[in-house]
Amino acid sequence: MGEEKQHSIPALPWMRDPVDITLSQQLPLDSVPSLHPKLKSALEDLGISNLFPVQVAVWHETVGPGNFERDICVNSPTGSGKTLAYALPLVQMLSDRITRCLRALVVVPTRDLALQVKQVFDAIASPLGLRVGLAVGQSSLADEIFELVEMPAHDISTYYDPHHVSLPRFQSKVDILVATPGRLMDHINTTKGFTLEHLYYLVVDETDRLLREAYQSWLPTVLELIQSNDDVFFQPADSFFPCSVGALRTRRRCGVERGFKDKPYPRLAKMVLSATLTQDPGRIIQLNLHHPLLLKAGQMRYRLPENLESFKLICDKNVKPLYLIALLKSLGEEKCLVFTKSVDSTHRLCQLLNCFEDLQIDIKEYSSLQHQRVRSKTLNEFRKGVFQVLVSSDALTRGMDVEGVRNVINYDVPKYIKTYVHRAGRTARAGQTGRCFTLMSEDEVRRFKKLMRKAEGGSCLDHNISSSLIEALYTSYQSALTKYKVIISKTQKKPKK
Ligand SMILES: Nc1ncnc2c1ncn2[C@@H]1O[C@H](COP(=O)(O)OP(=O)(O)OP(=O)(O)O)[C@@H](O)[C@H]1O
């Protein structure tokens, strides 16, 4: 992660002069210019009466006077409302569409995040008659195709056959698609009738994470498909284009672009967002942004939520699990997320904690070692409050919004400030209060303090647990360890003869 070492002044000139989101105020729905009445009442049904500053700023640059003339990059803290910041303008802009085509594509890194984003879209898009699809590999490819593409009555096979001479009429069943890169590529490569040719809007959520992982070159592929459509736009109407199997060809927005001296320029509008947006020109360039505008909260690249309190808890590393247990006990019934450094550590820690007989706290794990179905079930139960403590590694928690998480605990000190931002950001969301505790040994303190100086709002208090509380746990620790060793020996594979 060489990016961490970069100087904090961005190399890209347009990144040096951002619009500061913190200067925007919350805006009551009645004052939001041009807000569709149905969108307003959908928001009210969600209990939303004001737009958050990032939503106001994005609205201003898209639906408002900005009119989507520039591609939008958003760097705003975790829990500040980025999902609705992009979902609202998309739904508003598509509300007057006449035919149903795939007009907006939202790419996110994980399935659970995609499900969460789809729920947000469903709540605001359905009242305006827009359909939202999901391409995440939750169901079989065939089931997913059934939900996304209307097959011509006579055509029963679902996969693309390049030798098929007559071009049947496929119809998209969705206006907006939320996808993970892998499944998106499956549809691009194999699903007949799945086309991006009508796309107006591309959203890349958790951009830095998605740009870091190539996932079968999904981004160059999507951009190339869109680019080739733009090229075809200027070709004579009778020219052959293999993707034009659908309904009408769509004309992308053809506005007067700022800086283009009244030259009409059809293009796809892009929005890219993250709480830790990359400043690396080598990565940003991959997005092929058009005259980009950066919307950013505050001065520094990393910013922690306003109502987050950070604490460091210095432990004796020989009995670190006891500090965690003492901390969990002191937090009572509050929902907690515990982060470890790896999936293996997550598994081991969760097993060990469950070996403490008198703990009386329900603890489950959430990791990529588990089957997706198990993981989704665990997450749903955690959302509903069926159990109270979830132990997780980093990979899957980007963007996850679980109501009522009051505490985040870093069992292992995060290596990078970016990791701290995303972990801590699972609490103190939407203006709520929250706490992040980081367990560390004495010799890790210096590095941790240095790490926290990289973030706005990175001040950190001490949280102490008395040694008598730790000593009181020694006996149960011994019996938990014995029980844990039995479990480990049973699960370890027997050597082959
Ligand atoms: N205008 C609003 N009024 C009240 N609540 C809101 C508003 N906008 C968003 N929220 C709530 O704020 C929470 C955080 O929103 P969201 O998940 O979009 O944050 P985010 O900025 O994408 O965070 P992350 O960077 O962690 O992905 C959600 O529970 C959402 O329902």
pLDDT-derived band at 488 (thresholds 50, 70, 90) equals: confident
Q: Which residues pair with 309 in a beta bridge?
A: 435
Nearest CA to ligand 1 atom 22: 82
pLDDT-derived band at 216 (thresholds 50, 70, 90) equals: confident
* CA triple 275-280-281, angle to 5 deg: 125
Q: Say whether pLDDT at 72 is over 50.
A: yes
Q: What is the mean pLDDT of residues 435-449?
A: 97
What residues contact 83, with CB distance under 8 A and at least 6 apart? 116, 117, 120, 205, 399, 401
At 290-335, the pLDDT tens digits run 999 999 998 888 999 999 999 999 999 899 999 999 999 999 889 9
Q: Say whether pLDDT at 380 is over 80.
A: yes
Ligand 1, pocket-test mutation among 82, 90, 308, 398, most atoms within 8 A of CB: 82
What residues contact 186, with CB distance under 8 A and at least 6 apart? 135, 137, 141
pLDDT-derived band at 215 (thresholds 50, 70, 90) equals: confident
CB of 11 within 8 A of CB of 294?
no
Q: Say whether pLDDT at 129 is over 60.
A: yes
pLDDT-derived band at 166 (thresholds 50, 70, 90) equals: low
Give the pairing of strands 171-172 and 149-150: antiparallel
Q: What is the mean pLDDT of residues 230-250?
A: 38
pLDDT-derived band at 266 (thresholds 50, 70, 90) equals: low
Q: ipTM of this model?
A: 0.99
**pLDDT for 432:** 96
pLDDT-derived band at 245 (thresholds 50, 70, 90) equals: very low
Please provide the DSSP assignment of 158-220 as one string: -B--TT--S----EES-SEEEE-HHHHHHHHHHBTT---TT--EEEEETHHHHHH--TTTHHH
**pLDDT for 402:** 95
Q: Say whether pLDDT at 179 is over 80.
A: yes
Ligand 1, pocket-test mutation among 39, 74, 80, 91, most atoms within 8 A of CB: 80
Q: Is 252 helix (H, G, I), strand (E, B) or coil?
A: coil
Going by C-alpha positions, the residue among 134, 138, 135 that lies closest to residue 125 is: 134
Q: Quote the ligand 1 centre to 218 CA distance (angstroms).
A: 27
Q: Say whether pLDDT at 342 is over 60.
A: yes
**pLDDT for 260:** 39
Q: What is the mean pLDDT of residues 485-491?
A: 85
**pLDDT for 264:** 44
Q: Is the CB–ligand 1 distance for residue 425 below 6 Å?
A: yes
How confident is the prediction for the chain on average, in pLDDT? 87
The burial class, CB within 10 Å (0-12 / 13-18 / 19+), for 232 is middle
Q: What is the mean pLDDT of residues 129-142?
A: 92
Q: Is 50 helix (H, G, I), strand (E, B) or coil?
A: strand
Cα dihedral 428, 398, 194, 214, rounded to 10, equals: 150
**pLDDT for 469:** 92
Nearest CA to ligand 1 atom 29: 401
Q: Quote the ligand 1 centre to 79 CA distance (angstroms).
A: 5
Q: Say whether pLDDT at 65 is over 90.
A: no
**pLDDT for 255:** 43
pLDDT-derived band at 5 (thresholds 50, 70, 90) equals: very low
pTM for this entry: 0.88
Question: Which ligand 1 atom sits nearest the alpha carbon of residue 116?
Answer: 17
The burial class, CB within 10 Å (0-12 / 13-18 / 19+), for 163 is exposed
**pLDDT for 496:** 53
CB of 201 within 8 A of CB of 104?
yes
Across 80-89, 424-433, 479-488, least confident range: 479-488
Nearest CA to ligand 1 atom 15: 81
Question: Which ligand 1 atom sits nearest the alpha carbon of residue 430?
Answer: 12
Greater model confidence, 417 or 167: 417
Q: Say whether pLDDT at 30 is over 90.
A: yes
Greater model confidence, 396 or 131: 131
pLDDT-derived band at 29 (thresholds 50, 70, 90) equals: very high
**pLDDT for 286:** 92
Both tokens of 310, joined, read: 């950070």
At 453-485, the pLDDT tens digits run 999 999 999 999 999 999 999 999 999 999 999
